[in-house]
Amino acid sequence: MKKLAIIAGLGDLPVSIALAARERGQDLHVFRLSGFEEKRLEAFDHETLGIGQIGHLIKRLKKVGCEQVVLAGIVKRPNFSDIKLDIRGAKLLPRVLKAARSGDDALLRVIVAELEAEGFDVIAAESAAQELTVGEGLIFGQDPSEAELADLRKAARIASELGRLDIGQGCVVCDGLVLAVEAQEGTDRMLGRINELEDEIRGASTAPRGVLVKRPKPIQERRIDLPTIGPMTIQKAAEAGLAGIGVEAKGALLLNRDEIGRRCADTGVFLFAFPKNWS
């Protein structure tokens, strides 16, 4: 197997990928990004470098013998004026700034293209850890009702349109009414807003209604930034009074699946994977 490099931000995803590589006996090296150092990755061969050190990264990738590269983890969009750049980073900056004006996906494509130009095989997180993906159908909990399926379909259409405009990946619908859409605040904070709405239009822990849907952007470079679902997503959905969560089959990553299953059982929230052609 080719040696894997994980260019890592914060969160469960890079840790899950590293554990999966170790489990199958694949050599790996972790490059933690300065300011976004995930402490759990210290259990693996690792080093830390700055976001603007593109030239140094490429040299180190070659030095440690990595051929495959995966980008994973939470990295907030930086203030470009504050980034310390090496020579390669400075040369790349005009392209990065131009891409940044077109959205996060365009920005990430520039990074991927630069790595591929140096001969690295940039792979998707689900390729590095296939057990994180899901096929169509019910994953955990009870089958959604017809009304819940209708909410899932509507939320899936809206999430697709949000993604086409490079706004976000998530939407909440309850009884046909759109309660929230995700932008830069992220899923957890979007769900937190639900509790501020009038009781009449949303569910409650004693009478859950409505669904959250997360799906990839249609324009998305699917090797990076796929939607993720973790145990806290289930918990936040339950606290928002939602009945369930929908994800696109093969279009989302489940982090800590066993714990997700336990949270679904404890809270009554279902997790359902809908087909890609829902739009």
User: What does the pLDDT look like over 185-205, one tens digit per residue?
Assistant: 888 899 999 988 999 999 998
Q: Which residues lie below 8 Å from residue 98, measured CB to CB, with a gap of 6+?
A: none
- Domain hosting 173: range is 133-274
CATH code, domain with 230: 3.40.140.80
Section 15-26 average pLDDT = 93
pTM metric for this prediction:
0.81
Pairing of strands 4-8, 68-72: parallel
Q: Is the CB of residue 227 less than 8 Å from the CB of residue 160?
A: no
Mean pLDDT of all residues in 236-253: 95
Q: Of 128, 153, 180, which one is at a domain's C-terminal end?
A: 128
In a domain, 279, yes or no: no
User: Which secondary-structure segment (H or E) carries 13?
Assistant: helix 12-23
Q: What share of the chain is helix, strand, coil (3-state, %, to 5)?
A: 40, 20, 40
Q: d(Cα 181, Cα 187) in Å, to the nearest integer? A: 9
Residue type, 218: P
Residue ending a domain, among 128, 157, 174, is 128
What would the two tokens of residue 184 be?
Answer: 């830069």
Instruction: For residue 271, list its beta bridge partners.
Output: 140, 245
Residue with tokens 């993720």: 228
CA–CA separation, 124 and 128 (whole Å): 6
95 and 193 assigned to the same domain = no
Report the half-sphere exposure of 31 (CA within 13 A, side-chain side).
23
Q: Over the stretch 60-90, which tens digit does the pLDDT of each residue have? A: 999 999 999 999 988 876 666 667 877 887 7
Among 66, 97, 128, which residue terminates a domain? 128
Looking at residue 107, what is its pLDDT?
63
Q: How far apart are CA 205 and CA 186, in angstroms?
A: 22
The pLDDT of residue 46 is above 80: yes
Same domain, 97 and 11: yes
